[in-house]
Amino acid sequence: MRISEFSLDLAHPLETAKGPIESRDGFLVAVEHQGERGVGEATPLPGWTESLEDCRAALDAVDDPAEALDDGALDDTPAARHAVSLALADAAARARDEPLVTTLATNSHTSLPVNATIGDGDRETTVGDAKTAVLDGFDCLKIKVGARGVADDVERLRAVREAVGPEVSIRADANGAWDRWTADEFLSGVADFDLEYLEQPLPAEELAGHAVLRRLHDTPIALDESLAHISPQRVLASNAADVLVCKPMALGGPDRVLSVAEMAAQSAVGVVVTTTIDAVVARLGALHVAAALSSTRAHGLATASLLESDLATDPAPVRNGSMAVPEISGLGIDPSDLF
Ligand SMILES: O=C(O)CCC(=O)c1ccccc1C(=O)O
Ligand SMILES: [Mg+2]
């Protein structure tokens, strides 16, 4: 298996309740499988995945990629598992001369709505970012909260709702910054703003707390970090979420997202696929797997523009708040453009 390291700066840091994300470092991998080359990407993000060092060590230890997936050797290093799983899936799709998505599902989307990702900022900045996104064609905005006081966050969201009108969907993501009382105060403050959902108000482990918030408030609750720490079975059994935020990088690969989505569907829980601000290979992987799901919600895949540069030309740029799924074989990128 070929492994090559990369480091990409963000164009501007993404400000979150857990601090800024300033750069994304990771590994591209290439495998030979079913007579074809396939590419994958591991872009670890502590909080969701193993560290960069543990990821490298796990990838270096892979002898036979298909065997490493089967025998569970990568189960504790989701970003490394993601790279290997995606590369094998890319090669298998190429061997069938089909786009990756059609090897994952019999019925799939050809294009998907995506949300604009808006970091923490003061009220004017947040409103400006929201208006720009809507002018660019997005009809779903995801706004980071939890980095400042609740009253300020409530005013930011009030101002955004007033600026964009009732038709635009608004999500808020607190990245686990709050305790139950702070989350309760926020949810009371935004009760009239028709939020699509509040993502991860409480720390990852607090399933019971999220279940209480769901009972007390009408705003739906989505869980993201929780899925990186707790099995989807337990998350679903706790009645803690209306929506599961599935990051292929954090769950360990496209195959893992499909199985989580199947469990979520059984519980009538929604699914949204998002990146960890990945490079082009993993973003494409997330796009194909999102297109394989029946979900019609906007996904959190519009993160290319957050990066200052990328590893290759993006075959799936965001246009008018949507991304079209490449129709050529595999991920939609030529491995020789990457290695
Ligand atoms: O969902 C999106 O809009 C983009 C992805 C995103 O917000 C994100 C990106 C990197 C790390 C964490 C997160 C997050 O959802 O919390
Ligand atoms: Mg999140």
Separation of 310 CA from ligand 2 center, angstroms? 22
Same domain, 71 and 147: no
Going from the C-alpha of 45 to that of each of 57, 210, 245, the distances in angstroms are 15, 24, 16
Please identify, by atom number, the ligand 1 atom nearest to the C-alpha of residue 173: 16
Assess whether the C-beta atom of 226 lies below 6 angstroms from ligand 1: no
**What span, in angstroms and rounded, lies between the C-alpha atoms of 328 and 252?**
25
**What span, in angstroms and rounded, lies between the C-alpha atoms of 142 and 245?**
12
Q: The domain spanning residue 237 has which CATH number?
A: 3.20.20.120
Q: Indicate the residue among 47, 71, 99 that finishes a domain.
A: 99
- Please say if 18 is a catalytic residue: no
Q: Which residues contact 277 (CB under 8 A, 6 or more apart)?
A: 10, 14, 21, 24, 43, 45, 303, 306, 307
pLDDT at 153: 98
Residue pair 99/329 in contact by the 8 Å Cβ criterion: yes
Same domain, 181 and 211: yes
Q: The domain spanning residue 38 has which CATH number?
A: 3.30.390.10
Same domain, 82 and 209: no
Residue pair 306/11 in contact by the 8 Å Cβ criterion: yes
Ligand 1, from 275, 287, 297: best to mutate by most atoms within 8 Å of Cβ?
Answer: 275
Is there a binding annotation on residue 90? no
Same domain, 239 and 324: yes
Q: Looking at the 3D structure of the chain, how many domains does it have?
A: 2
- Please say if 142 is a catalytic residue: no
Ligand 1, from 224, 273, 274: best to mutate by most atoms within 8 Å of Cβ?
Answer: 274
Q: Indicate the residue among 65, 99, 133 that finishes a domain.
A: 99
pLDDT at 186: 99
Same domain, 93 and 116: no
Q: Which residues of the chain have a pLDDT value below 70? A: none
Same domain, 282 and 158: yes
Same domain, 94 and 201: no
pTM of the model: 0.98
Provide the residue type at 313 as one letter. Answer: T
- Identified catalytic residue from 18, 131, 142, 247: 247
Same domain, 75 and 162: no
Q: Tens of pLDDT along 203-236?
A: 999 999 999 999 999 999 999 999 999 999 999 9
**What span, in angstroms and rounded, lies between the C-alpha atoms of 308 and 64?**
34
Q: Indicate the residue among 99, 117, 146 that finishes a domain.
A: 99
Domain that holds residue 329: 104-337
Same domain, 39 and 117: no
- From 187, 189, 146, 142, select the one nearest 169 (Cα to Cα): 142
- ipTM of this complex prediction, to 2 decimal places: 0.99
Q: Which ligand is nearest to the CA of 226?
A: 2
Same domain, 166 and 273: yes
Residue-wise DSSP of 43-75: ---BTTB--HHHHHHHHHT-SSHHHHHHTTTTT
pLDDT at 253: 98
Same domain, 25 and 163: no
- Report which protein residue has its CA nearest ligand 1's atom 7: 117
Q: Tens of pLDDT along 94-133?
A: 999 999 999 999 999 999 999 999 999 999 999 999 999 9
pLDDT at 324: 98
Same domain, 28 and 138: no
* DSSP for residue 304: G
